[in-house]
Amino acid sequence: MHLLQVDIGKTIRVVGFDGGRKLEYKLRQLGVLPGNCARILRQAPLGGPVMIEVDGRSIAIGRGIASKINVEEEAAPCDSR
Amino acid sequence: MRFALIGQPNCGKSTLFNQVSGYKAETGNFAGTTLTFTESKVRVLSEIVDLVDLPGTYSLAGSNPAEREVLHYLAYHPIDVVINIIDASHLAQGLNLTLELMELGRPLIVALNMMDEAARLGMEIDGPKLEELLGVDVLPLIASRGRGVRAVFTTAMHVAREALPPNRPVYSPGLEDAIGSITNNLNGQAQASPLASELMAIKLLEGNAQLLERVEGHSPKARPLVEQAQKDILERQGQPAIWVFNAERHEKAAQLAEQVVIRGEKRRSKRDYLDDILLHRFWGYVALAAILWLFFQIVYSVGSALEAPLLESFDNLAVWLAGLVGPGTFGAEMLTGVIQGIAGGVAIVLPYLLPFLLGLSILEDIGYLPRLAFLVDALMSRLGLHGKAIVPFILGYGCNVPAVMSTRLLEERRDRFIAATMATLVPCAARLAVVFGLVAFYLGPQLALGIYLFNLLVIALTGHVLSRFLPESSPGLILEIPVYRLPTWRAVAHKSWFRIREFVVDAWPLLIFGSVMLAVFERLDLARWLNAAVRPLTWVLDLPSRVGVPLIFGIFRKELSLVMLRQALGVVDFAEALTPIQMVTFTVFVVFYIPCLATLAALRRELGTRDMLIISLITVAIALAAALLARAVATVFI
């Protein structure tokens, strides 16, 4: 499943990316990298971006990109490292 | 001595820079790019030091122009110490960059900024332990309140004098083998590059293409060597080298953070709940509308309160000076031209631009602009852009020059082109004068508002069409949303000053030049010829032929279209010479056609001559179509 298919408030773990290298690189810089845990904070209406929290940092991700981030849902919230 | 400030975006690096730098700080460009850094002279321990504020980057791998330039700058310029600012509340992420900086082979110190913010989040950071683990001096800092600033700079000075670079972090054996093999094989041949040879090996393995080209110039066998090593890593580890480096640094940074951060109770404050309203699916947009309305309300009330008295004093000054030289002489007319050019900047543009840029800096420092991008991203993506493109758009209402300059914050050239085109169509403060002076004054404010709405519609349509013609997909929004912060006046003043200075240096001379040209044209009585030259245009729009000159001079300065219209038509009351329909047609045309000379100069600097000409042509075509449409609509309704 990808990022857009997860409900607000849920916790996810990043699995991988479908996009190009450039995209992956930008996401990795912000801590969105395989194995990392994140929480879906909110979503802007009418096809707006998704906002997630990774390592205590809030990141807005456009829908086009969000649909290229493969994730799996986690039962427990991320450990607050 | 030269100190370099470096850190990730939103780490408070510029706040620190603003604390210590004077107003004489210089903004420079990286050669051949529009990317800027800022430099200032600072006194540290009775020594004068050059302090460079480099653009914020998350890493130095060189995958985007900013990273490449920063790496290039750090590697090739004589720098005595690198001051790495880390947002203490995001220690693990910040350490990612620190680990890369340790590879530079330059003396380094780390300043943990926003210690107050970290404490608020319930984090206690063991600075001495981090210092011991990294082998680099670590200092606490609260840049916004000026705490710890002195200690950071005196320590930096001591470290610079010792000139001892830290030991770089060690990677897994697979990577170290590759680094070693490339270092050994290229040793002695790549001495043309002052880059520490191991750092060079790492950056080559990460796939920095520019660097590889450079190295290849000295040692042709570099490329096969690097490619073979990259292939080996891919085979052994199952991912490209760049990701392996990235993951190992990330892991190491996380471990370091875990060892030095003691987590306590997180205290939630009001700020944490602010986004629940300001980014709410419904209330967020209500707040957005209210904030922008208030913003423009303040800008226009301050601007209009200043404009009239200032213009009057300049008019008086011009008359007085002309009287001294002798009214009607060539010299007097030239002098009047110069005064009017200065007045155009001081009385018409600055009264609006100053509160506008101050307000914008405040919104920016609070952290509202990234949130604005989040809110409008869906709308902007329908225009083929992403949320960040809202900034040039809003700036455009103040002055198109800073608007065009701000397109720099977009990564893709195509996005910059579309955003710049849209920004030049936004009616700036000078065009506001035309809309208000003609349409609002003679035909009522509702119609003026109508023109603004019509303008928005045309801009949206233009963006939509352009993105169809330039279909390469925009990468979309990836944006860190920083926590809300209270802006410091010093930082706001500094930022606004830099932006105002760009206008003063780049645009103002052109305004004055335009005014002088105008005086020359008047003197030589070239009006008839100019009117004849643009007659086809004025004929199509069903405007009197005499509006030709005001339209042409509108290119020099937009508000001249109105000022000169009075002279050109030879009337005091426009209603005597123009029908309401003609007023609407004229105004709509003025709002859209060719940006002013100063904006053209900005376009040329940001995008090159070719794109500047293309954008000018596009705006004329749009202006013509929009004016004809407005005329047709006005004929029906008025």
Q: What is the ipTM of this complex?
A: 0.92
> CB B380: neighbour CB atoms within 10 A?
25
- Please, what's the largest Cα pairwise distance for chain B? 87
Burial label for B383, CB within 10 Å (0-12, 13-18, 19+), is buried
- Checking if the pLDDT of B129 tops 60, the result is yes
Element (DSSP H or E) covering residue B268: none
Q: Say yes or no for a CB contact (<8 Å) between B377 and A22.
A: no
DSSP state of B471: -
Alpha-carbon distances of B637 from B440, B450, B539, rounded to whole Å:
16, 13, 22
Of A42, A45, A61, the CB nearest to B478: A61
Amino acid B25: pLDDT: 59
Q: Name which of A20-24, B79-83, B313-317, B598-602 the model is least confident about.
A: A20-24
Domains and CATH numbers, chain A: 3-73 (2.30.30.90)
Alpha-carbon distances of B372 from B287, B344, B382, B425, rounded to whole Å:
10, 32, 16, 21
Residue B20's φ and ψ, nearest 5 degrees, are: -105, -20
Q: Say yes or no for a CB contact (<8 Å) between B473 and A64.
A: yes
3-state SS assignment for residue A13: strand
* Portion of chain B with pLDDT greater than 90, in percent: 16
Task: Dig out the tokens for B442 from the structure.
Answer: 């003679």
Q: Which residues of B touch A24 (CB under 8 A)?
A: 243
Of B246, B247, B378, the CB nearest to A47: B378
Partner A, chain B 94-133, Cβ-Cβ below 8 Å: 121
Q: Which residues pair with A59 in a beta bridge?
A: A52, B480
- Checking if the pLDDT of B148 tops 60, the result is yes
SS (H, E, C) A60-81: EECHHHHCCEEEEEECCCCCCC
Q: Say yes or no for a CB contact (<8 Å) between A45 and B378.
A: yes
SS (H, E, C) B115-160: HHHHHHCCEEECHHHHHHHHCCEEEECEHHHCECHHHHHHHHHHHH
The answer to whether the CB of B99 falls within 8 A of the CB of B249 is: yes
> CB A16: neighbour CB atoms within 10 A?
12
Q: What rounded mean pLDDT belongs to chain B?
A: 83
* Portion of chain B with pLDDT greater than 70, in percent: 92
C-alpha B219/C-alpha B214 separation (Å) is 9
Q: What value does the mean pLDDT take over residues B289-302? A: 84
- Checking if the pLDDT of B22 tops 70, the result is no
Q: Say yes or no for a CB contact (<8 Å) between A33 and B254.
A: no
Query: Is B58 part of the contact surface with chain A (CB cutoff 8 Å)?
Result: yes
Element (DSSP H or E) covering residue A44: none
Amino acid B83: pLDDT: 94
- Helix, strand, coil shares of chain A, percent, nearest 5, are 20, 40, 40
**pLDDT confidence tier of residue A50, bands split at 50, 70 and 90:** very high
The answer to whether the CB of B272 falls within 8 A of the CB of B120 is: no
Measure in Å the smallest separation between the Cα of A74 and chain B Cα atoms: 20
Amino acid A81: pLDDT: 41
Q: Nearest Cα to B377, choosing from B263, B475, B498? A: B475
Q: What rounded mean pLDDT belongs to chain A?
A: 85
Of A23, A33, A43, the CB nearest to B475: A23
Alpha-carbon distances of B167 from A69, B86, B162, B254, rounded to whole Å:
36, 19, 15, 19
Amino acid B27: pLDDT: 55
Q: Name which of B48-62, B155-169, B430-444, B621-635 the model is least confident about.
A: B430-444
**pLDDT confidence tier of residue B26, bands split at 50, 70 and 90:** low
- Checking if the pLDDT of B137 tops 90, the result is yes
Task: Dig out the tokens for B89 from the structure.
Answer: 């509340």
- Within a 13 Å sphere around the CA of B276, how many CA atoms are in the beta-carbon half? 6
Q: Say yes or no for a CB contact (<8 Å) between A33 and B250.
A: yes
- Checking if the pLDDT of B635 tops 80, the result is yes
Q: Say yes or no for a CB contact (<8 Å) between A64 and B387.
A: no
| Test the B interface: residue of A21, A28, A40, A78 with most B CBs within 10 Å | A28
Amino acid B621: pLDDT: 93
Q: Say yes or no for a CB contact (<8 Å) between B89 and A56.
A: yes
Burial label for B245, CB within 10 Å (0-12, 13-18, 19+), is buried
How does DSSP assign B427-439, residue by residue?
--HHHHHHIIIII
Q: What value does the mean pLDDT take over residues B264-277? A: 73
Q: Name which of B33-47, B101-115, B219-233, B303-317 the model is least confident about.
A: B33-47
Q: Which residues of B touch A22 (CB under 8 A)?
A: 63, 475
Element (DSSP H or E) covering residue B331: helix B330-343
Amino acid B24: pLDDT: 57
Query: Is B246 part of the contact surface with chain A (CB cutoff 8 Å)?
Result: yes
Amino acid B187: pLDDT: 66
> CB B422: neighbour CB atoms within 10 A?
24
> Dihedral of CA B516/B518/B519/B521: which sign?
positive
Say which residue the tokens 């202006």 belong to.
B623
Q: Say yes or no for a CB contact (<8 Å) between B481 and A22.
A: no
Size (chain A), residues: 81
3-state SS assignment for residue B593: coil
Q: Name which of B101-110, B124-133, B259-268, B530-539 the model is least confident about.
A: B259-268
Phi-psi region of B246 (alpha: psi -120 to 50; beta: other; left: phi over 0): alpha
Amino acid B382: pLDDT: 80
